[in-house]
Structures are given as C-alpha cells and as structure tokens.
Amino acid sequence: MKYRTLGRTGWKISEISFGAWAIGGAWGDVDDQESLAALHAALDGGVNFFDTADVYGDGRSERLLAQLKKERREKFYVATKAGRRLNPHTADGYNRANLTAFIERSLKNLDTDTIDLLQLHCPPTEVYYRPEVFGILDDLVKAGKLRHYGVSVEKVEEALKAIEYPGVQTVQTIFNIFRQRPADLFFKEAQRRKVGILARVPLASGMLSGKITRDRKFAKDDHRNFNRHGEAFDRGETFSGVDFETGLRAVEELKEIVPSGATLAQLALRWILEFPAVTCAIPGAKRPAQVAENIAASNLRPLPKATMKKIEAIYDGQIKPLVHPYW
Ligand SMILES: NC(=O)c1ccc[n+]([C@@H]2O[C@H](COP(=O)([O-])OP(=O)(O)OC[C@H]3O[C@@H](n4cnc5c(N)ncnc54)[C@H](OP(=O)(O)O)[C@@H]3O)[C@@H](O)[C@H]2O)c1
C-alpha cells in the first residue's frame, strides 16, 4: 500500500482507503461479522482511512468502526459526515444546535472524544454560501470536538466554492472512469490550495468491477434497485448517474484493456490513482475478498498512455453526454 498526504492535515493516508456505506446496510442485507472481517482485512492490507456517515445504517457503520478500534491496536483515521439526519434536508437546518447534536451523536457511536474528520454530507448548494456554517465548524475544532473538517459535494461548482473557506481541508467527490469532470478545473484549484480529495463511488456502485451482469437482481432495499432515477437521493450516487444498459456496454469495452494479471476493479481504481491531486479512492466493500482485490490496485504499475487514451475515448463517446453537464 502506498500513502499520500491528506491536504494540510499532515496525515499520510492509504491511497486505497475504505468506504463504509454498504456495511451500514443500505445496499441489501449485511452481516456484521462479515463486515468486521472486511474492515480487518482492510487494516491488514495497510488501509488507515475509513469513510463513514452518521446515517449509514443509522449509526451502524460508525459503531462497526468503533468496534474495529477496540479490536486493533494500529492507528487509523475515521472520517464521518453530518447533515443528512435533517428532515426536511434544508440549508437552515445546518445551524449550530443541529450540527452540535449530530456531532455529539457521532462521537458516541464512534466511542471517541474527537472526530478525526467531519464532512458536511452533500448539503443543499446554498450552504456553501453561508460562511456562518463554516464558522460553526471552526468553533467545533477549537472546542476539540473535531480535528479537521471538509465537505462531501455533489457538484464541481460546490467543491470550488467550498475550498474558498480556509478551514476546509478535504473535498469528497464522485470521481471515476464514468465521472471525469472534477479533473478539468477543480483538481488544479484543490492542489493550489492544498486541499485533500477523497474519490468516492470509485467503482460506480460496483458497475466498474465488471462483475455486474444484465440479469443481476438487487435487493429491494439496495439503492441500485430503488434509486436509479434519483427516487430517494441524487441519482448521480447510483451507478454514478449512468443508466444501467449504457454502463454495461461501456464496461464490456473496458474489459478489453485490463492489464494482464489485473481485474477491471483494479484498473478502475488505478485509473483514479493516476491523478496526483487525488489523495485516495474509497471503494465500498462488504466482504474481505473484495477488500483484498481493491487494495491490490495500489501495487499496479501506472497505466500505459494508450490505456488512458482508450478510457478517455470510451468516456467521451458513451458516458460524457450523460453526466458531464450535470455534476
Ligand atoms: N454523499 C456521500 O457523501 C457519499 C455517497 C456515496 C458514497 N460515499 C462514500 O463513498 C464510498 C464508496 O462509494 P460506494 O460504496 O457508493 O460505491 P463503490 O465504491 O463504487 O461501489 C461499492 C460496491 O461495489 C461492489 N464492490 C466493491 N469491490 C468490489 C470488487 N472488488 N468486486 C466486485 N464488486 C465490488 C460492492 O457491492 P456488491 O458486492 O453488492 O455488488 C460494493 O458495495 C461509500 O462507501 C461511502 O463511504 C459517500
């Protein structure tokens, strides 16, 4: 495993880290023992950074990470998120009382006195134009409740606005072979300001593993079943906003350029690592075998120019019109 410096925090974090949404249970049934085994496998493979949220399984994902901390000695970082407990999810809800309460709840779930990294959880765009929200986060850092804070965004424009606030250390954004626009302008700006970038949904919800077939049935409570058109939350979070059939067709072409000895999931993760602005990718995984496969992407050689060009061509030809103008 290789490590990269996360923005101005001074932390060296694993370039393949761990996304803990699925183990919360919003992707069909999960078994906590299996989830814990996946978390242990991540630590065994050198992962030292885990991304979760207070709403993943209503705290179940955070509590699994607290359990991991009890069972292991090595130091690892946990990034969680706040905001999505709001109902309705409005900009006005991002006030001192609510944020403080959400954070206190996460501290309990994580069984800690200080949260390593707290991210605003894809708030309404208007929140980025409310400096007072970032002032509240500065106060929570001063109070010792947070070590650092950042944002998780839906759109490039939100990311560009967020990094104007000097306290924002990280931006989490969807970035993968099916979502390339963040690399156009935002990466340059983030590097200039030394802001860390967490690439989420790196496998386009598993589509870029190449293991999803046309007749795969997703559980009723798996968002890949119920959110394909944005029925419950932003449709860009499910298969990266690419419709199922188009995604499968593009995956067939990508399979032809997988380096020998590697898998498509590894190619997809290695592609993300080709961008030095990215601090880490945070693939989600529910099983130790998935973790092992994903982690190994850190050991792949840099991708040949011809492979990068082919990926660009597949994106430009089949995917770009579906996603580029929206996020
Ligand atoms: N708004 C936000 O802030 C937000 C939104 C989305 C995600 N995130 C974060 O980003 C993380 C990653 O995104 P994601 O989990 O949505 O999507 P992802 O990482 O693109 O896909 C994860 C899913 O792909 C499948 N998978 C993983 N590794 C695999 C492998 N080696 N082979 C085959 N299948 C594999 C698993 O599902 P199956 O085995 O069931 O197919 C897994 O749950 C999340 O866990 C979360 O921490 C944040």
Contact 205, 177 (CB under 8 A): no
Contact 137, 162 (CB under 8 A): no
Cis status, amide bond into 202, omega within 30 of 0 = no
Residue range 61-120, pLDDT digits in tens: 999 999 999 999 999 999 999 999 999 999 999 999 999 999 999 999 999 999 999 999
Residue range 37-63, pLDDT digits in tens: 999 999 999 999 999 999 999 999 999
Kindly report the average pLDDT of the chain as a whole number: 97
pTM for the predicted model, two decimal places:
0.97
Task: Give the confidence band of 282 by pLDDT, cuts at 50, 70, 90.
Answer: very high
- Using most ligand atoms within 8 A of CB, pick from 21, 84, 267 the residue to mutate for ligand 1: 21
Check pLDDT > 90 for residue 29: no
Q: Is the CB of 146 under 6 A from ligand 1?
A: no
3-state secondary structure 48-62: CEEECCCCHHHHHHH
Task: Give the confidence band of 27 by pLDDT, cuts at 50, 70, 90.
Answer: confident
Contact 91, 130 (CB under 8 A): yes
| Residue whose C-alpha is closest to residue 50's, from 12, 11, 76 | 76
Contact 264, 255 (CB under 8 A): yes
Which parts of 230-287 fold into alpha helices (H)?
244-255, 264-273
Q: Is the CB of 211 under 6 A from ligand 1?
A: yes
Predicted local distance difference test score (pLDDT) of residue 28: 77
Task: Give the confidence band of 23 by pLDDT, cuts at 50, 70, 90.
Answer: very high
Angstrom distance (rounded) from CA 52 to CA 67: 14
Q: Both tokens of residue 218?
A: 């997703």
| Longest CA pairwise span in the chain (Å) | 54
For residue 199, give Cα distances in angstroms to 61, 94, 242, 275, 288: 19, 24, 17, 11, 21
Check pLDDT > 80 for residue 26: no
In ligand 1, which atom is closest to the CA atom of 203? 20
For the chain, how many helices (H) and strands (E)?
A: 12, 10
Q: Is the CB of 19 under 6 A from ligand 1?
A: yes
- Which helix (DSSP H) or strand (DSSP E) does residue 127 occupy? none
Residue range 114-155, pLDDT digits in tens: 999 999 999 999 999 999 999 999 999 999 999 999 999 999
Residue range 158-168, pLDDT digits in tens: 999 999 999 99
Task: Give the confidence band of 25 by pLDDT, cuts at 50, 70, 90.
Answer: confident
Residue range 299-327, pLDDT digits in tens: 999 999 999 999 999 999 999 999 999 99
Which parts of 112-208 fold into alpha helices (H)?
131-142, 156-162, 186-192
Predicted local distance difference test score (pLDDT) of residue 147: 98
- Which helix (DSSP H) or strand (DSSP E) does residue 108 occupy? helix 96-110
Q: Is the CB of 285 under 6 A from ligand 1?
A: yes
